Structure 1
Amino acid sequence: MTQEKWNHEGYIPTMEEHMELTFISSGYKYTLASSFADMGDVITDDTFEWAFTNPPLVKACCVHCRIMDDIVTHMERQHVASGVECYMNQFDVTEQHVYSVFNKKVEDAWKEMNREYLIRKDIKMPIVMRVLNLARAMDVLYTNKDHFTHVGEELITHIKHLLVDDIII
């Protein structure tokens, strides 16, 4: 609703407004939670409670996913302003500068996820790995171009290697 209003009014939100709204609307946290469904007895009610309190691991993963998405999709959007546009407008900087800042944010999110991976003792390792694997999937889908929206030979090859081709050791 808010994004629709912003688009209708031609409003470009601040970076903080954009991140606050898109952190929720992007659905990464919900994608993560739904991916727990096939994990059997490893998952408990506590797992979902943990995930929805935005612990540092989940938050870093969601920030990573949101920023990766914003980097490669901002030019294609015909509706609400992307994070890149919000940042450029708020701080009066070039697109290249925003890419540098956002790539640093992606790097920082990876550092936070790796730190959490090493110190988390209260969460079972398969759950931690599920969070990291969502971030890894985003790297495949959104590094250098939007492979999610525009499926091409590169993504098809990744999927074939993963699911079809023999594994060579």
Structure 2
Amino acid sequence: MKVVFNAIAELCAEIESLTTEGGKSSLPSKYVKQAYFKVAEAYLVEAKWCHESYIPTYDEYKTNGISAGYPLFTTAFIALGEFATKEILDWVSSYPKIIKAVSIIGRLTNDTASHKFEQQRKHVASAVECCMRQYGITQEEAYEFINNDINNCWKDINEEYLKLDYIPRPVLDCIVNLARISELLYASFEDKYTNCALLNDYIVALLLDPILI
């Protein structure tokens, strides 16, 4: 944990150095630190669930999953860009509807692709197990239920993207692209994040054999 903490501290220091060198405030690094703190809190909750062999409700699990990663990714991306203002960073930190929807998509697509492998070792129950337990349904029915949840999240994302005309489009694009990445990484019940060889063709298509425009 000391190694992890030191790496995070070095990253925050680098962000602060880059923003202040560019004549900007050191404020973004404070938001990145806060976002890391939220992730650590969420992971601690999952660790306690795992240690106590507790299976949360599906709703409980999703609520905690909102804090686990995606708001941090958004904050970190924005912190180094031209839109790293207090107003925008405050908005991201408030977990608006669009970020909640993107976070849920990331959590649910990950779980449906990786839960079978993860349950082979001591691991917190995934969204699939939580859904089966809360509603008394089969695994296949849980997949269908979760997929409907993901579709509803996309409806929220599309609606919010059109409504949030006071948020710069590059910021919204950054947020939406995280959900699109999740759909790619975990499509067809494949965990391309863990089994990165599955991304070879995509990387080749993007970097070695791009479409000429």
TM-score normalised to structure 2 length: 0.73
- Pairwise CA distance, 1:164: 2.7
Whichever residue aligns with residue 87 of structure 1, its letter is C
Quick check: 1:139 aligned with 2:183? yes
Measured in 2, the distance between the counterparts of 1:149 and 1:167 equals 27
Match of 2:62 in 1: 19
Q: What amino acid is the match of 1:17?
A: E
Q: How does 1:45-124 map to 2 (within 5 A)?
A: 45-77=86-118, 78=121, 79-124=123-168
Question: In the alignment, does 2:51 pair up with 1:8?
Answer: yes
Q: Percent identity?
A: 33
| Structure 1 residue 34, shift from structure 2 partner | 0.9
Does the CA contact (< 8 Å) of 2:106 and 2:179 recur in 1?
yes
Higher relative contact order, structure no. (Cα contacts within 8 Å, ≥ 6 residues apart): 1
CA contact (8 A) 2:75 2:92 kept: yes
Counterparts of 2:100 and 2:110, CA distance in 1: 15
Distance 1:166-1:91 versus aligned 2 partners, 3 A rule? closer
Structure 1 distance, partners of 2:76, 2:162, is 24
Based on CA coordinates, which of the two structures has the bigger radius of gyration?
2
Gaps of 5+ in 1: none
Q: State the Cα deviation string for residues 97-122 of structure 1 (Å, max 9, x = none).
A: 11111111111111111111112111
Q: For each residue in 1:28-59, what CA deviation from the matched residue of structure 2 results, as whole angstroms up to 9, or x when unmatched?
A: 110121121343x2331211111111111111
| Cα root mean square deviation, aligned | 1.5
Separation (CA, whole Å) in 2 of partners of 1:102 and 1:162: 30
**Structure 2 stretches lacking a partner, 5+ long:** 1-43
In the superposition, the TM-score normalised over structure 1's length comes to 0.91
